[in-house]
Structure 1
Amino acid sequence: MSWDKAPQSVATVPDGDWDLTIWSWLRATARPTAIVLGLGFGLAACTALPGDGPWMGGAASTTTEALPFDVIDLTPTTIANYRQPPPIDRPSTVSNLPAGGRVAVAPGDAIKVRIFEPYEGSIFPTIQRPGADFGVQRVTDDGTINVPFVGTIKVAGLDLGQIEKKVAQQVTASGKAQEPQVIVEFVADRTHTVMVSGDVRNPGRVSLLEGVRTVVEAINKAGGPAGIGGQSANGVGANQFEVIVRRNGQIILQSQFSDVLAGGDIGLQKNDEIVVRPNPRVFTVLGAVVKAGNVDMSKHTVSLLEAMGMVGGLNDTRANKTGVYVFRLGELQTNPTARGKVFRLDLYQPVSIFIAQQFPVLPKDVVYITNAPLYEYDKILTSIYRTVSIVGVARGNIVSTGGF
């Protein structure tokens, strides 16, 4: 018995053929049921169907009073308030630091003392002959060293020249040398150092006596950030590292390493602490793009146009060219009452390409490209088609069984 030949009422059912009544009922109800299910699914499609992000129909510039953010249309007029100038390297503030200064010896330092005499036959050799090297003299906790033939000498707080003069005076006063020549040099610096730690190749103490005067010089002396110069598979650059400098327990510098290189360098003092740590500058791209996800900012400033290009551009079959949005949180750390901002760009306008070139994407921004309306309608129609197909398959299975 086919579907179309099923009896239309119970009165026409032959004896013993009551199952035809079931076919009649199914024929009368299956098609309307499919239509009702399809329409109901279509009405709920905006919330029931999966999507790439929020529905932006409610983000209108006229309704910002009821929203926790401000909606700003990017136009040739409004872009002037958000355009950022390109980064310019500025003169470093350490350019006027003195080339060197007085270096005083302190307990824990290790120095070497050598004594020479101008004449042969004395206790100490002439400068042309080897010897007169008394080895490494470590400054004790009470600030003294013990030199053979000279005795104990108080050196803490004196620079190398003052120590040379004091040793010469003491050895001359003892009558053990005439017109002695004394040379004192550092062997190991324990006090005039800064600590470089964190994500550097060679963490540890760096001596200021090795010509290190600034933060950049100290980081370079420690091998530089681990991740620059081919050490990282991700090609991490100076823009992805943060530098923190502490002095006497207080933070005196906290900045991206790229900003320090661009002129934000500062001079160092002994016992300063330098910490280099990863601080990725990342923005997120969602929605109708070729490849959504998090994107590292490989340079200091990235425009909106560059941001879309970094993910392969907009998806031609899905993207709504009038629905390009940038979500940006307010400065909540400095201003708890700050409102977020949603920037909206209409790429159908030719001038929008120039606007996108000027608008900067900042770290933690979210760039969201909405789906085109026809794409959403296509999803609804596809869902209705699948619903009707399911009902049709069910009907076919019932017909093929020949009854219950």
Structure 2
Amino acid sequence: MRIRFTACAIAAAAALSGCAIAPGMRVDTPHQDSAPGQQGVAVTEITPELVSRIGSDAPPIEASDDASALVAAPQPYRIGAADVLSVIVWDHPELVVPNLTYDVGATSGALPVSVGLASQSVPGFAVGHDGTIQFPYVHRLRVAGLTETEAQTLLIGQLKPFIRDPQISLRVVGFRSKKVYVNGEVHAPGLKPITDVPMTLAQALHVADGALSTGDLSRVTVTRKGKRYRIDVPHLSEHGLDATQIKLVDGDEVRVPPATDYSVFMMGEVQKAGPLPFHSDGRLTLAQALGEAAANPATSNPAQVFLVRPASGKEAMQVFHLNAQTPLTLAIAQQFPLQPNDIVYVDAAGVVRWNRVISQLTGSASAAYAVERAALGN
């Protein structure tokens, strides 16, 4: 009898507790908050006015720092240490030293990609670490920091005392002094030489054979001297820019992150719970997330959709509520942009909660009855 009394007491306490022991999670609606101070976070209703305000206040997605700092006009290539120069003095073949050859091309990343040549040995003069080349008659000639035209003019002036009206061709045949590094979700990551073709963001992605389908081009980062710029490539035109205007310099790092690095989390009464990646353009709205996660029509309560935005930096945690029962509210949700790490929770319908409580109570009662029968049998 004591066991029976205990089981009945447990069931009665559970029934009087207002379904407090319902299995699974739940989020109270704003009307169920006993006091704002108790929760610590206010629940904001998603309305057309809120969507309009968020759209006007949102910072541009293309840069965490000012991406306009990377915009620059194309400049001619300037010779640097380790570059290989081809110097031909017409009518003086003795000034070309055949045994001075250097490996350039695909292996070393020295030739322009457009040349399309495999790695090979070419005759030339390598620029030393001090920025000079050794050339007959003039001994050491400082060429680092000069363009091809400037180096050609300088060499002509140095040879005039020895050669009457010297005719010289000077070209960089091995681009080995300046490189950018492309990594992440691209087909051909690695060091990419800066050549006489200006190295822009578009060119860097091109020489890396483009981004993989798993890459997120809306959050490409360019790191320069410890400062990181985030660039939304598909939407640069919205800000009057394009990827060909973003100039890269020696030492820059370009990274295309995986799309899975940026997701929202779907929870509650949805058929596809778990992380949901952003679209290829880096955007995802609340309505799109609800559509892709597919709310369970049998158990979900469309009037109780909650969005939890975790605290980030100086921004406190935020909680938004959407009543998605009407087409108007779904249209509002279609204009509500989500951010990485947002949590979307679809609450259960009231009858579902009740059934879960009853199932738990009847299960507990059955277990207590079985224990009692076993005790009486003993």
Distance (whole Å) between structure 2 residues aligned to residue 354 and residue 275 of structure 1? 37
Say whether the 8 Å CA contact 2:30–2:43 is kept in structure 1.
no
Whether 1:216 and 2:183 are equivalent positions in the alignment is no
The amino acid that maps onto 2:262 is: R
Matched residue, 2:253: 274
Distance (whole Å) between structure 2 residues aligned to residue 107 and residue 387 of structure 1? 80
Deviation at 1:358, TM superposition (A): 2.0
User: Structure 1's 253 and 393: CA in aligned 2 closer, same or farther, altered over 3 A?
Assistant: closer
Matched residue, 2:283: 301
The amino acid that maps onto 1:136 is: G
- Counterparts of 1:1-400 in structure 2 under 5 Å? 34-44=7-17, 46-51=19-24, 53-57=25-29, 60=32, 63-83=35-55, 97-101=72-76, 103-117=77-91, 123-124=92-93, 132=96, 134=98, 135-148=123-136, 151-175=139-163, 178-197=164-183, 200-225=186-211, 228-229=212-213, 235-239=214-218, 241-246=219-224, 249-251=225-227, 253-256=229-232, 258=234, 263=241, 265=243, 267-268=246-247, 270-276=249-255, 278=257, 280-298=261-279, 299-311=281-293, 313-330=294-311, 332-333=312-313, 335=314, 338-394=315-371
Worse-matched range after superposition: 283-292 or 162-171: 162-171
Worse-matched range after superposition: 353-362 or 187-196: 187-196
Distance (whole Å) between structure 2 residues aligned to residue 389 and residue 57 of structure 1? 33
User: Structure 1's 50 and 396: CA in aligned 2 closer, same or farther, altered over 3 A?
Assistant: same
Deviation at 1:397, TM superposition (A): 5.1
Distance (whole Å) between structure 2 residues aligned to residue 382 and residue 173 of structure 1? 104
User: Structure 1's 360 and 181: CA in aligned 2 closer, same or farther, altered over 3 A?
Assistant: same
Worse-matched range after superposition: 156-165 or 92-101: 92-101
SS where residue 209 of structure 1 aligns? coil
SS where residue 203 of structure 2 aligns? helix
**Cα RMSD (Å) of the superposition?**
3.7
SS where residue 366 of structure 2 aligns? helix
The amino acid that maps onto 1:251 is: K
SS where residue 69 of structure 1 aligns? coil
Instruction: Mark the runs of 5 or more structure 1 residues left unpaired by the alignment.
Output: 1-25, 118-122, 126-130, 230-234
Worse-matched range after superposition: 263-272 or 372-381: 263-272
Instruction: Mark the runs of 5 or more structure 2 residues left unpaired by the alignment.
Output: 99-122
Distance (whole Å) between structure 2 residues aligned to residue 261 and residue 111 of structure 1? 39
User: Structure 1's 394 and 143: CA in aligned 2 closer, same or farther, altered over 3 A?
Assistant: closer
TM-score by length of 2: 0.75
User: Structure 1's 93 and 77: CA in aligned 2 closer, same or farther, altered over 3 A?
Assistant: closer
The amino acid that maps onto 2:304 is: G
SS where residue 82 of structure 1 aligns? helix
The amino acid that maps onto 1:186 is: V
Say whether the 8 Å CA contact 1:61–1:71 is kept in structure 2.
no
The amino acid that maps onto 2:247 is: L
Deviation at 1:82, TM superposition (A): 3.2
The amino acid that maps onto 1:386 is: G
How many residues get paired? 342
Deviation at 1:112, TM superposition (A): 1.2
TM-score by length of 1: 0.70
